Amino acid sequence: MEKKGQHNPKETNSMQNEVSQKQKTKHFTFAHWYLTAFFLILFDLAACIGSYFLALWFRFDCHYTQIPSAEFSAWLRFTPIYAVVCIAVFWALRLYQSIWRFASYIELKRIALGSVIVGIFHAVFITVLFLQMPIAYYIVGFALQFMLTLSVRFAYRFVVLERGKRAKMQREATGSRVMLIGAGSAGQLILRDLHHAKEVNDYVCCIIDDDSNKWGRYIDGVPIVGGRDSILLNAEKFHIQKIYLAIPSATTDQRRDILNICKETKCELKNLPGLFEFVTGRVTAKSMQDVAVEDLLGRDPIKVNMEEIFQFIQDKVILVTGGGGSIGSELCRQIAQHNPKQLIIFDIYENNAHAIGLELKDKYPKLRLEVLIGSVRDSMRINQVFRLYKPDVVYHAAAHKHVPLMEYSPCESIKNNAIGTYKTAYAAMMNGCKRFVLISTDKAVNPTNIMGASKRLCEMIIQSFDRKIREGKANELSPLHVHTQDSEGSMRDIAHPVQQPQTDFVAVRFGNVLGSNGSVIPIFKKQIAKGGPVTVTHPDIIRYFMTIPEAVSLVLQAGTYANGGEIFVLDMGSPVKIDTLARNLIWLSGLRPDVDIQISYTGLRPGEKLYEEKLMLEEGMRTTPNHLIHIGSPIPFDTDEFLKQLQVLMKAAYDGRDDEIRNLVMEAVPTYHPAEMQGNAENHPL
């Protein structure tokens, strides 16, 4: 007897088999194409029988009674054999499995091949087995059968196309009117997809292409009306609402020129991102993306020797502080691609750190990854990380970066940026780290705000460490401690230094990053989506811009060029007026500045200046193998005096003496000239 709660294995297997059979029965469905194939077989049977009978009938002047009995008997006896062979050949050539709404040249070739095969079979075997028929019988019978089998299949495609024309007319009446730029392969694929995509209610009215040989001709019924010079004219003529740019091979300058014309049309712009989609066959209407404002920047994308960079990274332990931020997370993504020995993400904000950690684990399951939470201001924690993991290279991206916020919390800016950098650099040196790369900013040049001044302090800290190491005086870099009993902020218990520190300390300086946290672009987009106004601080304010991948590639390149003490600077081309940037974004949204969306000037925010500089005048520049990357010659300063001033600054910052901190920073950073606390309640402090 079975005990209660036990299962009989035979009964279980029987039940499983029964369930499996039910599932099979339940999931079996009679596909629609089976029915289509059945009717095609019936038609082909009628065609193969009827076509040769009609050939015989035509041969004898369409008089049934005049057909000789011998010929009629031969046709009648051979018909069953021929019918079976026809169906077998057509099935082997997949003429019953094709989707005829998409019938093309391939299907035409198969029908022709099948007709030739069965035509030859008919001619040979009816003659050998039964009787030699009249020549007209073979020719007319073959022709009739070919036309019948072909027409019934392509008739369905014709019906579908006619239905598509009606849908096209309806889309023309109700959908958005589109101008397509690019009559190449990508443009043709986009056009075909728009004509057949049910989910896209757009209608292509005209095509623009710079190839004059194509002008006045048509693609799928759509006229090619001219080159880029005729964009404005035809946008007005055809009442265009959207413009699709489908030239994946266009250079940056060509794309920028075309987009600058397009943005004057008041149309919404869509862009096919690049060659990747074309090469991988992903060119569809859904591939089109909103035109990014970086497409209108006044320079080509930055190019670096990534192979050189990743040879440097490979098989090294890499630590990224601030690894959850905009720059830090992109650093982690690019580093993870090229086989580091281990990647350590260090950040105080657990949500961002967790998100980038999950992303990298999912994408690179074999990556040795550690995600650690902590503050660069906590010397015991940062030293614990260095002592445990012994990183070879550090990318120090952790910092407070928001200019107006830091103006109202200057002590926090000094504690996190300057003191945090000192503690991280000290831990790196003490634990044998080979290279330390500081992420700096163009706001460190002649700073007018406390954030820029704090980043200049960071650069000076890095240069001080490099100088002391080169002079063999690393022991003079004393550990920082705020108060005697301060267990968290003290560096007194840090590990003993290596015998001869060899860490190379460098800084990388770049401008504003498009799409980063706090970037002006997302703010403008939100304001446009709400209907305005778009707020610009000053009509003449200018900034240098770069994309996040460009910024990260520069940082990584600096890691390979470093000899110690350098400040690497990117040649970012011409600066961009923020007012122009805002207006371009409004145009790219298909709206008109100052008409559909108002632009409001709010005045400079606290600590803000009209323009940023890439280098201080005293620094000068040296070139590197990458002509877009330069090295600023270090400005001489008294390292010992600076380190004493840093001690004073740290104590004032931890004591919260906001009223004194700016004067102390001015003593340490001679180029710092704080701007007046500008702005009003409306723009304070964001």
Question: What is the DSSP annotation of 398-425?
Answer: -----HHHHHT-HHHHIIIIIIHHHHHH
Q: pLDDT confidence of 117, banded at 50, 70, 90? A: very high
Tell me whether residue 389 is in a domain: yes
Number of domains in the chain: 3
Asked if residue 368 and residue 343 are part of one domain, the reply reads yes
Residue 483 has pLDDT above 60, yes or no: no
Tell me the percentage of the chain whose pLDDT exceeds 90. Answer: 27
Q: Which residues contact 216 (CB under 8 A, 6 or more apart)?
A: 223, 224
Q: Which of 132, 160, 188 is the last residue of a domain?
A: 160
Asked if residue 397 and residue 509 are part of one domain, the reply reads yes
Asked if residue 316 and residue 374 are part of one domain, the reply reads yes
Tell me whether residue 683 is in a domain: no
Least Cα distance to 504 among 611, 392, 615, 413 occurs for: 392
Question: For 401-422, what is each residue's pLDDT tens digit?
Answer: 888 899 999 999 999 999 999 9
Asked if residue 557 and residue 427 are part of one domain, the reply reads yes
Whether residue 443 lies in the annotated active site: yes
What residues form DSSP beta bridges with 222? Answer: 219
Residue 22 has pLDDT above 50, yes or no: no
Q: Which of 256, 291, 326 is the last residue of a domain?
A: 291
DSSP state of 2: P
Q: pLDDT confidence of 242, banded at 50, 70, 90? A: confident
Asked if residue 205 and residue 149 are part of one domain, the reply reads no
Asked if residue 266 and residue 348 are part of one domain, the reply reads no
Q: Which of 214, 316, 443, 609 is catalytic?
A: 443
Q: Which of 261, 291, 321 is the last residue of a domain?
A: 291
Beta carbons of 268 and 242 less than 8 angstroms apart: yes
Q: Please state, in angstroms and rounded to a whole number, the distance separating the CA atoms of residues 329 and 327.
A: 6
Asked if residue 224 and residue 358 are part of one domain, the reply reads no
Asked if residue 192 and residue 155 are part of one domain, the reply reads no
Q: Write phi, then psi, for 607 (nearest 5 degrees).
A: 80, 0
Q: pLDDT confidence of 592, banded at 50, 70, 90? A: confident
Q: pLDDT confidence of 616, banded at 50, 70, 90? A: low
Which range, 73-77, 279-283, 361-365, is most confident? Answer: 361-365
Q: pLDDT confidence of 101, banded at 50, 70, 90? A: low
CATH number at residue 392: 3.40.50.720
Structural domain span for residue 150: 34-160
Q: Which amino acid is at 680?
A: N
DSSP state of 64: G
Q: What is the pTM of this model?
A: 0.63
Question: For 24-79, what is each residue's pLDDT tens digit?
Answer: 444 445 556 677 778 888 888 888 888 888 988 888 878 877 888 888 888 888 98
Q: Please state, in angstroms and rounded to a whole number, the distance separating the CA atoms of residues 122 and 138.
A: 8
Asked if residue 472 and residue 325 are part of one domain, the reply reads yes
Residues 264-286: b if buried by 16+ CB within 10 A, e if exposed: ebbbbbbbbeeeebbeeeebbbe
Asked if residue 204 and residue 85 are part of one domain, the reply reads no
Tell me whether residue 126 is in a domain: yes
Q: Please state, in angstroms and rounded to a whole number, the distance separating the CA atoms of residues 262 and 557.
A: 36
Least Cα distance to 417 among 156, 668, 686, 95 occurs for: 668
Q: Please state, in angstroms and rounded to a whole number, the distance separating the CA atoms of residues 208 and 190.
A: 14
Tell me whether residue 354 is in a domain: yes
Q: Which amino acid is at 613?
A: E
DSSP state of 492: T
Asked if residue 317 and residue 241 are part of one domain, the reply reads no
Least Cα distance to 238 among 207, 212, 268 occurs for: 207
Asked if residue 370 and residue 453 are part of one domain, the reply reads yes
DSSP state of 209: -
At residue 245, the 3 state secondary structure works out as strand
Q: Please state, in angstroms and rounded to a whole number, the distance separating the CA atoms of residues 35 and 351.
A: 56
Q: What is the phi-psi region of residue 590: left when phi exceeds 0, alpha when psi lies from -120 to 50, beta otherwise?
A: left
